[in-house]
Amino acid sequence: KQEVTQIPAALSVPEGENLVLNCSFTDSAIYNLQWFRQDPGKGLTSLLLIQSSQREQTSGRLNASLDKSSGRSTLYIAASQPGDSATYLCAVRPPTDSWGKLQFGAGTQVVVTP
Amino acid sequence: DGGITQSPKYLFRKEGQNVTLSCEQNLNHDAMYWYRQDPGQGLRLIYYSQIVNDFQKGDIAEGYSVSREKKESFPLTVTSAQKNPTAFYLCASVAGTYNEQFFGPGTRLTVL
């Protein structure tokens, strides 16, 4: 069974520092991987989607890499701001079911201090 | 604006009651999902539906029921058989061939 792990569970950085968030998964046979942001008491906001054939995706200050062979993805947030404070979750989709059934990590709670 | 709406935002249930959570989307997505989120845990799949009048159990379907009579609507009923229903419930839908999943704002259910 696919297991998704995000370490650390919580992270605090000063404003301006680059954020590095980790996601690891046990089965390298994935369809794609998605990164989400969740603010307290809110739903999930999709940040980036990486297909299994891709090595990275970029959107503004965000860059996500994917290394299927090692079962890892990393989300980089450049020049962090207090508004980046949130919980970040990664989720993988198995190749046998292209219609969903995402497997989620527990998330990394990020605090960016001014 | 296109999106997913969930109502109510907060819901309180007495022991032994059934309650229904609403999820509506105007994104014209075919597939819809219900997840449950508990503190410190990742999201867990309750039910999902790929087409109208068809749905499948997820990992934690016991004590829950769903219907999919319209493409845009996927209500979730939390029955009295669900022993620990206090949680944050999230509805989602899938877009197009790249299967990017989008989420609604959530409903927080509390059992009194």
Convert the pLDDT of each residue in B21-63 to its tens digit: 999 999 999 999 999 999 877 899 999 998 899 999 999 999 9
B11 in contact with chain A, both atoms CB, cutoff 8 A: no
CB A4 within 8 A of CB A73: no
In one-letter notation, the amino acid at residue B10 is Y
- Closest alpha carbon to A25 in A43, A40, A5: A5
CB contact under 8 A, A100 and B105: no
Alpha-carbon distance B112 to B110, whole Å?
6
By the 10 Å C-beta count (0-12 exposed, 13-18 middle, 19+ buried), B110 is classed as exposed
- Along the 114 residues of chain A, how does pLDDT read in single tens digits? 889 999 999 999 999 999 999 999 999 999 899 999 999 999 999 999 999 999 999 999 999 999 999 999 999 999 999 999 999 999 998 877 656 678 999 999 999 999
| CA dihedral over A103, A8, A83, A79, signed as positive or negative | negative
Cβ contacts of A95 on chain B, cutoff 8 Å? none
Question: Alpha carbon B78 to chain centroid distance?
Answer: 10
Contact assignment for B43 to A104 by CB distance below 8 Å: yes
**Chain B residues with CB inside 8 Å of A43's CB?**
4, 6, 90, 103-106
Cβ-contact A64, A57 below 8 angstroms? yes
Residue corresponding to tokens 């999919």: B68
